[in-house]
Amino acid sequence: MKFNLKVWRQKNAKDQGKLVDYTIDNINADMSFLEMVDVLNDELVRKGEDPIAFDHDCREGICGMCSMYISGRAHGPQHAATTCQLYMRSFKDGDTIYVEPWRAKAFPVIKDLVTDRSAFDRIIAAGGFVSVNTGQAQDANALPVEKADAEKAMDAAACIGCGACVAACPNGAAMLFVSAKISQLALFPQGQPERNTRAINMVNQMDEEGFGNCTNIGACEAECPKEIKLTNIARMNRDYLAASLISE
Amino acid sequence: MSTLNSKIPPGPLAEKWSYYKEHAKLVNPANKRKLEVIVVGTGLAGASAAATLAELGYQVKAFCFQDSPRRAHSIAAQGGINAAKNYKNDGDSVYRLFYDTIKGGDFRAREGNVYRLADVSRNIIDQCVAQGVPFARDYGGLLDNRSFGGAQVSRTFYARGQTGQQLLLGAYGALERQVGLGNVKMYSRHEMLELVKIDGKARGIIAKNLVTGELERHFGHAVLLCTGGYGNVFFLSTNAMGSNVTAAWKAHKQGAYFGNPCYTQIHPTCIPVTGDYQSKLTLMSESLRNDGRVWVPKTKEDAKAIREGKKKPEDIKEEDRDYYLERKYPSFGNLCPRDIASRAAKEACDDGRGIVPSGFGVFLDFGDAIKRLGVEVVKARYGELFPMYQNITNEDPLKTPMKIYPAVHYTMGGLWVDYELMTSIPGCYALGEANFSDHGANRLGASALMQGLADGYFVIPYTIGNYLSSEIFTKSIPTDHPAFAEAENAVKERTQKLLSIKGKRTVDDFHKALGKIMWEYCGMARTAEGLTKARKMIQDLRKEFWSDVNVPGTINEFNPELDKAGRVADFIELGELMVVDALNRNESCGGHFRVEYQDQGEAKRDDENYRYVAAWEFKGVDADPVLHKEDLVYENIQLQVRSYK
* pLDDT mean over B258-263: 98
Can you list the domains of chain A with their CATH numbers?
Answer: 3-111 (3.10.20.30), 118-246 (1.10.1060.10)
Domain B491-631, CATH number (from 3.90.420.10, 1.10.10.10, 1.20.58.100, 3.40.50.1580): 1.20.58.100
Among B51, B162, B211, the residue with its CB nearest the CB of A62 is: B162
pLDDT value of position B2: 54
B55 with A134: Cβ contact below 8 A: yes
Nearest to B134 among A116, A146, A150 (CB): A150
pLDDT the model gives residue B602: 86
B155-166, pLDDT tens digit by residue?
A: 999 998 899 999
> For the ranges A139-153, B264-278, B292-306, B573-587, which has the lowest average pLDDT?
B264-278
Contact between chains at B67 and A55 (C-beta distance less than 8 A): yes
In angstroms, the CA B379 to CA A168 distance is 30
The reply to whether residue A48 touches residue B186, judged by beta carbons under 8 angstroms, is: no
What would you report as the CA-atom Rg of chain B, rounded to the nearest whole angstrom? 24
Asked whether this chain's domains B267-408 and B491-631 adopt the same fold, the reply is no
State chain B's mean pLDDT as an integer: 96
> Whole-angstrom Cα distance, residue B78 to residue B75?
8
Residue B327 falls in the annotated catalytic set: no
Contacts of B185 in chain A (CB under 8 A): none
CA distance to partner chain B, nearest, from residue A102 (Å)? 14
- pLDDT, average across residues B253-271: 97
Query: For B472, which DSSP code?
Result: T
pLDDT value of position B275? 83
Is B422 in contact with B53 (CB distance < 8 Å)?
no
Domain ranges of chain B: 267-408, 491-631
Instruction: Choose, out of B239, B277, B356, the residue to mutate when testing the contact with A (most A CBs < 10 Å).
Output: B277
Tell me, what's the ipTM? 0.98
Cβ of A62 and B282 within 8 Å? no
| pLDDT of B1 strictly over 50 | no
Residue A224 has pLDDT above 70, yes or no: yes
Q: If one looks up domain B267-408 in CATH, what number appears?
A: 3.90.700.10
Q: What is the mean pLDDT of residues A151-169?
A: 98
Residue B405, beta-bridge partner list? B270
- Give the per-residue pLDDT at A248: 62
B126/A139 touch (CB, cutoff 8 Å), yes or no: yes
Q: For residue B589, what are the β-bridge partners?
A: B592
| Closest Cβ opposite residue B141 in set A55, A144, A154 | A144
- 0.90 exceeded by pTM: yes
What's the per-residue H, E or C state across B500-560? HHCCCECHHHHHHHHHHHHHHHHCCCECHHHHHHHHHHHHHHHHHHHHHECCCCCCCCCCH
**Candidates A36, A50, A56, A57, partner chain B, best to mutate (most B CBs within 10 A):** A57
Mean pLDDT of B272-290: 89
**Would you tell me which residues 155-194 of chain A have a C-beta closer than 8 angstroms to some C-beta of chain B?**
157-158, 160-161, 184-185, 188, 190-191
Q: What percent of chain A has pLDDT over 90?
A: 98
- pLDDT of B456 over the 80 cut: yes
- Report the share of chain B in percent with pLDDT over 70: 99
Chain B residue closest in CA terms to A48: B552
Count of residues making up chain B: 645
* Selection from B555, B303, B592, B341 nearest residue B445 by Cα: B341
